[in-house]
């Protein structure tokens, strides 16, 4: 998966546009230590408005990307951090996560694959991170 992402040229949405596959390849998949995926959807930088429209309109894309990223790095838990002030987006994202669990795209033995992933959506309290 990591090599496919590297070959695609996919880059992060942050200011540096760091290559995603390269970032994922830094994770030691041979380590016995647990790995976690953390998604920062806080978007509290002044003038930034790239994440909230996507999360409101297509939250399942974020969930699909989280499953792919978590699988690639061997994570079994993913945490999505979202600004608490964007209540509509928070509700929409939590509903989409619930739908993904109900459809078998999250949780134990995803679609019979033997892979488990739990996703937690955490609302912040307005602090810049």
In this structure, the number of other CB atoms found within 10 A of the CB of residue 115 comes to 14
Confidence at residue 86, expressed as pLDDT on a 0 to 100 scale = 87
What pLDDT is stored for residue 52 in this prediction? 86
Model pLDDT, residue 114: 97
pLDDT, residue 128, reads 60
Supply the pLDDT for residue 129: 54
Predicted local confidence at residue 51, as pLDDT? 81
Q: Which domains does the chain have, with CATH numbers?
A: 33-123 (3.40.50.11540)
Question: d(Cα 46, Cα 27) in Å, to the nearest integer?
Answer: 31
Per-residue pLDDT of the chain (129 residues; tens, 9 = 90+): 999 999 999 998 777 889 999 999 999 988 999 999 999 888 777 677 778 888 999 999 999 999 999 999 999 999 999 988 889 999 999 999 999 999 999 999 999 999 999 999 999 886 665
Q: What is the pTM of this model?
A: 0.89
Q: What is the pLDDT of residue 49?
A: 75
CA distance 17 to 19: 6
pLDDT at 100: 98
Beta-bridge mates of residue 78: 37, 119
Q: Give alpha helix (H) positions in the chain.
A: 2-8, 20-25, 51-57, 59-73, 87-103
């Amino acid at each position: 998966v990591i090599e496919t992402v590297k070959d695609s040229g996919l880059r992060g949405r942050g200011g540096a546009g760091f290559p995603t596959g390269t970032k994922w390849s830094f994770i030691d998949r041979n380590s016995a230590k647990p790995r976690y995926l953390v998604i920062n959807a806080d978007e509290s930088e002044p003038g930034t408005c790239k994440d909230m429209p996507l999360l409101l309109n297509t939250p399942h894309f974020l969930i699909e990307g989280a499953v792919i990223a978590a699988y690639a790095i061997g994570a079994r838990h993913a945490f999505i951090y979202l600004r608490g002030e964007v209540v509509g987006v928070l509700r929409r994202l939590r509903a989409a996560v619930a739908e993904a669990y109900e459809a078998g795209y999250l949780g134990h033995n995803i679609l019979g694959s033997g892979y488990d992933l739990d996703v937690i959506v955490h609302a912040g309290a307005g602090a810049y991170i």
